[in-house]
Amino acid sequence: MSNITLVEENPLSLAEVKEKLADIKKRDKELEARALKVEGYVHKFAQEKKTKDLAEKIRKLEVSRLKERNIKKIIDIMPQDIDSLKSLFVGENLTLKQEDLQKIISVIHDN
């Protein structure tokens, strides 16, 4: 087994994973077993909306303590109310003000 060195770690939304898998499929002509399972999952659950625009709109809200991985999670789940949005951060050390939560929900509804 080869020794792999992790150079950089970036969170990806499901739509971005779908794009990366398409690039790998073009390059390698065929996906391996794990990648095929991921591809099936992504095709089933990935949102087809403009995720880059939505991520940018959420970043422009300038909500303090909101990290990139949180933004990607919001984009993947697309919560429709504040309670659903709060449930995304249950395992995180993150508390957001009520007005920040409302801003995020309004951006999601406008998209």
Question: In this structure, are 69 and 92 located in the same domain?
Answer: yes
Question: 80 with 106: CB under 8 angstroms?
Answer: no
Does the pLDDT at position 6 exceed 90?
no
pLDDT digits (tens, 9 = 90+) for 31-62: 899 999 999 999 888 876 678 889 999 999 99
pLDDT digits (tens, 9 = 90+) for 63-92: 988 999 999 999 999 999 999 999 999 888
Question: What secondary structure does DSSP assign to 54-93, as a single string?
Answer: HHHHHHHT--TT--HHHHHHHHHH--SSHHHHHHTTTTSS
Question: In this structure, are 86 and 101 located in the same domain?
Answer: yes
Both tokens of 35, joined, read 């990648």
Question: In this structure, are 75 and 104 located in the same domain?
Answer: yes
Question: In this structure, are 18 and 63 located in the same domain?
Answer: no
Q: Three-state SS for 30? A: coil
Question: In this structure, are 37 and 69 located in the same domain?
Answer: no
**pLDDT of amino acid 1:** 60
Q: What is the mean pLDDT of residues 89-107?
A: 91
Radius of gyration (Cα) for the chain, nearest Å?
16
